[in-house]
Amino acid sequence: MAGILDGKVALITGAGSGIGRATSKIFAREGAKLLIADIVEDAGRETLKIIKDAGATAIFMKVDVSQETAAEAMVAKAVETYGRLDCAFNNAGIEGEGAVTHKCTMANWNRVIAINLTGVWLCMKAEIDQMLKQGGGGAIVNTSSMAGLVGSVGGPAYVAAKHGVAGLTKTAALEYGRHGIRVNAVCPGPIRTPMMQRIMRGSAEAEQRFIRSEPLKRFGEPEEIGEAVAWLCSDHASYVTGVPVPVDGGAFAQ
């Protein structure tokens, strides 16, 4: 039985761990041909091995998404390898340093914005340009966050970047819908990833605070985000565009 992404060419950034790795495995399961990218080469190649061992068609590329030439080269490599680009998951991101607004450093602000916001924009630019050239539409999903929909104490740069991703998503959806290009975002709640572990600093008390705040009373798993991304990139979501989709265990309903 064919998967929901069977035959589609997809690229995934931030594929070395967490949500990116889980989504890469799901895309592979659903039949996509993959270019996976990460700035951490060892982690990216580990993901590549996992999905190739599962029988998928995939290549890896080390990419710094905050560099325009790197984003352009990534898309060019996908097209050189597979002939086209059908869908993309712009997922690469960092949490940055925790600090309230007046203590956020310029260095932290610049780094978080460069990777989490400018990086998404640069990838979108290259992806959309290719989709327009080849015709036939396409689907793009960006990683925003619950912090892209509401405020969060102690992360001004992260929150600003993720709100920016939600806005970019809506704008691009309006601009390119007539070309058949759909653009959506996922807004994960607390997901059990290495990034979340760093944020909690191994504190069981912090974990319980997150869990108590969730209507489902548990953390999400990276695969639960990946399943949503795969659906949004598939033809099953053909009438869905311009939506920052909360995948958050009900937190946004409160």
Q: Residue 119: how many CB atoms within 10 A of its CB? A: 28
Which helix (H) or strand (E) is 123 found in, with range?
helix 119-134
Ramachandran region, residue 33 (left: φ > 0; alpha: ψ -120 to 50; beta: rest): beta
> In angstroms, what CA-CA distances link 17 with 20, 101, 194, 228, 252?
6, 29, 8, 17, 25
DSSP-assigned letters across all residues of 189-237: -SB-SHHHHHHHTT-HHHHHHHHHHSTT-S-B-HHHHHHHHHHHHSGGG
Spatial CA neighbour of 189 closest among 243, 231, 141, 252: 252
> Strand, helix or coil at 121?
helix
Cite the active site residues.
144, 158, 162
Report how far residue 35's alpha carbon sits from residue 254's, in angstroms, rounded to the nearest whole number.
Answer: 38
